[in-house]
Amino acid sequence: MRTMTNHKDFLGKEPVGKLLLKLALPTVTAQIINMLYNIVDRIYIGHIPKVGAMALTGVGVCMPLILIVAAFAALVGNGGAPRASIFMGKGDTKSAEKTLGNCFSLQIIISVLLTVVLLIWNRDFLLAFGASENTIEYGVSYMNIYALGTFFVQLTLGMNAFITAQGFAKTGMLSVLIGAVANIVLDPIFIFGLDMGVRGAALATIISQALSCIWVVSFLFGKKTFLKIKKENLKLKKEFILPSLALGSSVFIMQASESIISVCFNSSLLKYGGDIAVGAMTILTSVMQFAMLPLQGLGQGAQPIISYNYGARNVKRVKKAFWLLLKVSMAYAILLWGGVMLFPQGFASLFTSDAALLAFTKDALRIYVAALFIFGIQMACQMTFMSIGNAKASIIVAVMRKFILLIPLIYVMPAILKQNQTMAVYMAEPVADVIAVTFTAILFAVQFKKAMQEISKQ
Mean pLDDT of 430-458: 89
Mean pLDDT of 163-180: 80
Quote the CA–CA distance of 82 and 162 in Å, as a whole number.
8
Q: Which DSSP letter does residue 313 get?
A: T
Q: What is the pLDDT of residue 4?
A: 44
- Burial class, 441, CB count within 10 angstroms (exposed 0-12 / middle 13-18 / buried 19+): middle
210-220 tens-digit pLDDT: 998 999 999 98
Instruction: Identify which of 127, 59, 405 has the alpha carbon closest to the alpha carbon of residue 270.
Output: 127
Q: What is the pTM of this model?
A: 0.68
DSSP helix/strand/coil, 13? coil
H or E element in which residue 351 lies: none
Per DSSP, helices labelled H in 90-149 are 93-128, 136-146
Check pLDDT > 90 for residue 225.
no
308-343 tens-digit pLDDT: 888 778 888 888 889 989 999 999 999 989 988 988
Please tell me the least confidently modeled range out of 54-58, 283-287, 374-378.
Answer: 54-58
Domain residue limits, the chain:
12-457
Quote the CA–CA distance of 184 and 20 in Å, as a whole number.
29
98-117 tens-digit pLDDT: 988 899 999 999 999 999 98
Check pLDDT > 50 for residue 414.
yes
H or E element in which residue 276 lies: helix 275-311
